[in-house]
Amino acid sequence: MHGREGITLLDFISFDRKRLGRDLLLGVALILPSLVFIYGGIIASSLLVYGNPDALQIYGPLPLLPALYGVLIFPLVWGITEQTTYNGYLLPRFQVLSGSTGFAVAVVAFSWSFQHAVMPLTFNPHFMLYRLLAPIAHSTFITLVYLRVRRILPLATAHWLMDGVSAFIGILWPLLR
């Protein structure tokens, strides 16, 4: 089904069966540099907001069925959704509307980071500031990677695997011990 702009979700993802193996490998290869930016942002944000580098735990205990959903389904859906929304849809449009790649990257990175400030919504100003600042480095990095490769699948793959492992460690692993 085509949207108002005449493109489909698969157009955003740029799925190409011939490139599937390379896209998946690139996704795996992006994990290590992504983790550098993610943990660098977490440590810097923790230091700035709380005065210490210890990251806050955002996961809480869940019953087994929601924990399985949180590890197996949610990261897959969220990886595709975030990458498609921010990089596939918003970034190119902000580039065209503003005429500036730098402005587009800044708007997308900030918007993406702001999303994390309200998830989970706590109304705790320190926690919300921490959650806003922590992802900025990674959001900027992955947006710049998208500008280079113009393919969502590798980015969504890395996102899915990292979120899945993170959820496994924080949610499911405690239930299995």
Q: For 81-96, what is each residue's pLDDT tens digit?
A: 999 999 999 999 999 9
Peptide bond into 120 cis (omega under 30): yes
pLDDT at 16: 80
pLDDT at 156: 95
Distances (CA, A) of 111 to 35, 54, 124, 133, 158: 20, 25, 19, 11, 20
pTM above 0.95, yes or no: no
35: Cα separation from own chain's centroid: 11
pLDDT at 139: 97
pLDDT at 127 over 70: yes
pLDDT at 51: 93
d(C-alpha 57, C-alpha 35), whole Å: 16
d(C-alpha 147, C-alpha 151), whole Å: 9
